[in-house]
Chains A and B, each alone.
Chain A
Amino acid sequence: MKQELTCIRCPMGCQLTVEISGDSVTVSGNTCPRGADYGKKEVTAPTRIVTSSVKVRGGELPLVSVKTASDIPKDKIFDVMAEIRRCYTDAPVYVGDILIADAAGTGCAIVATRNVERVNS
């Protein structure tokens, strides 16, 4: 099986050709080792970082932006989003704070990506 992909590991956007025959996966078209990794992973176990935001109570802003602490399986994106959308937190929140320890059973945490200070209103 042969698959054409665009590498997204850096802005170069190399056009990759990934060939799978049995257990062996070969990648061509890459200009760096990260491209080979990406090609292999994308056809066998694609993953993504998910970014979104979580509602904040008592903060200077109504939302805090968040991300998955590491990449998660691509097919779990919407499960993780559903959990993020249900989540609330209280100000203050700081970059790196863990808001969900294990999102949708991926084992991956949801962490804050900005600071939201508390305001007294």
Chain B
Amino acid sequence: MKQHKIVIIGGGPAGLAAALGAKAHGIDDVLILERDERLGGILNQCIHNGFGLHTFKEELTGPEYAQRYIDRVLAAGIPYQLRTTVAEITPNREILCVNAEEGAVTIKADAVILAMGCRERPRGALGLPGFRPAGVYTAGTAQRLMNIDGYMVGREAVILGSGDIGLIMARRMTLEGAKVRAVAELMPYSGGLKRNIVQCLDDFGIPLKLSHTVTKIHGKERVTGVTLSQVCADRKPIPGTEEYYSCDTLLLSCGLLPENELSKSASVELDPVTGGAVVSDRLETSVPGIFSCGNVLHVHDLVDNVSQEAARAGEKAAEFVKNGRSSGGTAIRLKGENGVRYTVPQILYADDMDEKLTVRLRVGDVFRNKALVVCYDGKEVKRLKKRIMAPGEMEEVTLQRDSLTDDVREIIIRVEG
């Protein structure tokens, strides 16, 4: 059995930043396992700009952002294995990985950092009625085919879901000469960033049809069209509102799901709301020595936040390896309530926490002129006014260690206003 101090599962933005974080905090024996043919993860296919404003103070494209981290990892001499798929992780951190050169190899790690990213919700999970022809793609699959492999997925498209990848693909297909007939969104608001609605739809006159969904896919071999219907408040289609759109492609951008099958094999406790692990302020999961960061922990909007979070996971994993122990002391539970769907982390150990802790959260609806209120055991300690909050945009709240007294047991963050 091979042995390494820290093994990182995934060589995307989270894995790269975690590796650098671990190395910077004194652990040299770090190994990145990546299933694809290159490092960088999904950033490689995100050729649009808008990455890195916070980290590098300039707007980069996805591949450029990835390359900067890859260059740092190479410069730091951190080893990595490509085309290597992890098949299983045990709770005592034995990693079974598979590749063509070595076959099936088990690696024992002192600490593991989960950085596997997320996947897209497929057509089947959405229960879209109609035929099952070719031409129905998740937006990310279409993005990969266009931006990495160089193939057009179609000439005329309708996009369901106004998540960022869907919006980005609307522009991408338009620029490549395809006609994007509409973007339909089930909810009464978009799930994407505003800048993407402006630059990807408004710029090209692509209609965004809020409170609409696909009620039929037409075409037996290849998509020939879709029927869109308006939905009412309970998201059920309203009869009589059907509109037919001729197209050869239906792209789906209907949500991302953290990909935690390996975490499950390691018996890591998952949060039913995020779909990712339940973690402490040190980004440690319920299994000692297994850490989680990036989109496998919870789906982020900005890669800058992923990198920052992952660097901390690397740092904390390094501390775990050096100290040989997890956080101690009394656990304080963090919870979202009244409009706050979740918080990450979900657990805080005041004795071991950093001076300042960034708690990330998402709200469940669009809120205007409200406030995020932090309560320690029911007592309000912080109130942040917000002009606008939306489910598509992650919020954050900073907690100070000094503000926590020994008796605090529960921290609740809620929307008030």
Contacts and interface: CB of A to CB of B under 8 A. Distances in A.
Direct contact of A and B (CB under 8 A): yes
Interface of A: 5-6, 8, 10-11, 13, 48-53, 55, 61-63, 65-67, 74, 77-78, 81, 85, 95, 113-115
B393 interface: yes
B87 interface: no
Given A61-B148, A114-B63, A114-B67, A48 B203 contact: yes
Contacts of A13: 193-195, 388, 393
B48 interface: yes
B350 to A, nearest CB: 31
Consensus secondary structure, chain A interface: mixed
Interface in B25-63: 44, 47-49, 53, 59-63
Contact of B175 (A81, A114, A115): A81
Given A5-B198, A74-B203, 4 more contacts: A8-B194, A63-B147, A113-B60, A114-B67
27 contacts: A5-B198, A8-B195, A8-B198, A10-B53, A11-B194, A13-B194, A13-B195, A51-B49, A52-B175, A53-B47, A55-B150, A61-B148, A63-B148, A63-B150, A65-B147, A66-B47, A67-B49, A67-B61, A74-B203, A77-B203, A85-B177, A95-B67, A113-B60, A113-B63, A114-B47, A114-B66, A114-B67
Interface of B: 44, 47-49, 53, 59-64, 66-67, 147-150, 175-177, 193-195, 197-199, 203, 301-302, 388, 393
Nearest to B194: A13
Max chain B C-beta neighbours (<10 A), residue from A6, A74, A114: A114
B49 A11 contact: no
A53 B46 CA distance: 11
B410 to A, nearest CB: 30
A43 B26 CA distance: 52
